[in-house]
Amino acid sequence: MDPVLTPAGVRALDARLEGAGLLELAMEAAGRAVADTVQAAYPAGRVLLLAGSGANGADAYVAARHLHALGREVEVRALGVRHPLARKNRLRLRAAGVQTTPLGTSPAGLAALRRSLGAADVVVDGLLGTGFRPPLRPALAGVVAAMNAAGRPVIAVDLPSGLDAGTAEVNGDPVRADLTVALCGWKTALLFGPAAHLAGQVRLDGLRLPPGWALEGADAGAPADAEVAALLPVRAADAHKGTAGRVWIVGGHPGTVGAPALAGVGALRTGAGLVTVHSAAEVPLVMPELMVRRHADLAGFLDHVAPEDRPDAVALGMGLGPDAPALARQVLAWEIPTVLDADALQPELAGAGHGGCVWTPHPGEAARLLGAPTPEVARDPIAAARALQVRYGGVVVLKGGPSVVASAGGVQVARPGHPGMASAGMGDTLSGVIAALLGQGLGAAGAALAGVTLHARAGQLAGAAHGYGLSATDVGAQLGAAWLDLTGRR
């Protein structure tokens, strides 16, 4: 599990490392990781390193020393030092034979910087890391603008300068990096929204810290594929449809009948033994294996389902229309594993969730549930998912690229899918996927995490063939392959 750290989490980790006498070693590992990344990605040519006054700048000094040891031609332009380890590592760099030049922010200083940028084959951005507080001061804004205008490849240390590590929002004009070496853990800015677009490709280096230290102070975890695969059930050879989970899809309303059909496909393609769509409208039979039952009075039908006839899991809300909250209350009262999506995601259901239920809002629905503007949700999806979980109970999947899963046990960030998944019906399919996993015995948090991961992987597989023309039907068709791919059980 990779950690996702806030700036406060980084500060606490730094203090712990400092107390244990390990901070200097962590910094040495950070600088070395940056140097190794430069060497692997841009093995030839002159390297210009820009060092700020804090620990981010110290990492750049260490990287410069390692690059020099590797025989690379390096130039270091630096602001004044404030962090004691920046001072120490600058002295070490000089002792190793590399002089540093002041990074001036006056017109003459910026002209000199532009000359250095013009002579460089790759630039290392070690100006500002997690210690940055927006907005960028005008003096440094000129430096960042010169870097962006130079058109040279940029490798950022920890995160591009000018990005606030704790938010997906972009203020002003930060460094645009081609590659970022994230240190110790992911940051919100490297995972979500417009901020993540500025980081380029991200490589995480754990700096060989004592096991668990970074994760203990983390805001969230980002599980590895193998950790998610381990959640998925292995079936006995004598399994039959009665043991693979009976799933009900409750959805559909005149005009929105495709939604429950897609959820049904999602459930079937995720291994549910028996899938029945219950709807007030005529739902198309998109797969003959899907059972479709139309009810003139859906609420009356649900009222009369005997406990022994209830399914193993339900997904409710997809295209269901205005009766969804009342119908959701009926099903929630059964206290069986339940996915609530789309029309069932209404503020009046606050507090109605139980431990076996999964709410699956996209950012717009999350904003409605929280009574907050959508940009606020997008700014910090981890905080939004956590707030939703506290308010609604159960488990929350805040959908996106990547999705966030919040449960009483903590928050996890799943792997992103494919940009082609930005199209109608993807969420309907996902609700069926999660319901199928609930029906096969996974707990709500495990089903949510494994569900979004399978769905994202299926999106990647289908996206390779269909690109931006990807449809939810294409994704549904790849769910079986995604399962095999994730588990290696081909």
Annotated binding site for AMP: 399-403, 427
The minimum distance between CB 87 and ligand LP7C6HRI, in angstroms, equals 12
Q: Tell whether residue 338 is a contact of ligand LP7C6HRI (CB under 6 A).
A: no
Q: Tell whether residue 248 is a contact of ligand LP7C6HRI (CB under 6 A).
A: no
Name which position in 158, 205, 219, 343 contacts ligand LP7C6HRI (CB under 6 A).
158
> How many angstroms separate the first and last alpha carbons of the chain?
24
Q: Tell whether residue 223 is a contact of ligand LP7C6HRI (CB under 6 A).
A: no
Q: Tell whether residue 55 is a contact of ligand LP7C6HRI (CB under 6 A).
A: yes
Name which position in 2, 4, 22, 27 contacts ligand LP7C6HRI (CB under 6 A).
27
Which part of the chain contacts ligand LP7C6HRI (CB under 6 A), choosing from 116-124, 126-134, 283-291, 368-376? 126-134
Which part of the chain contacts ligand LP7C6HRI (CB under 6 A), choosing from 9-17, 346-354, 378-386, 473-481? 9-17
Q: Tell whether residue 136 is a contact of ligand LP7C6HRI (CB under 6 A).
A: yes
The minimum distance between CB 140 and ligand LP7C6HRI, in angstroms, equals 5
Of residues 93 through 112, those in contact with ligand LP7C6HRI by CB under 6 A are none
Q: Tell whether residue 14 is a contact of ligand LP7C6HRI (CB under 6 A).
A: yes
Which part of the chain contacts ligand LP7C6HRI (CB under 6 A), choosing from 7-15, 239-247, 373-381, 425-433? 7-15
Considering CB under 6 A, how many residues would be counted as binding ligand LP7C6HRI? 31
Q: Tell whether residue 26 is a contact of ligand LP7C6HRI (CB under 6 A).
A: yes
- Residues of the shown chain interacting with ligand LP7C6HRI in the complex, contacts defined by CB under 6 A: 10, 13-14, 26-27, 30, 52-59, 82-83, 128-137, 140, 157-158, 183-184
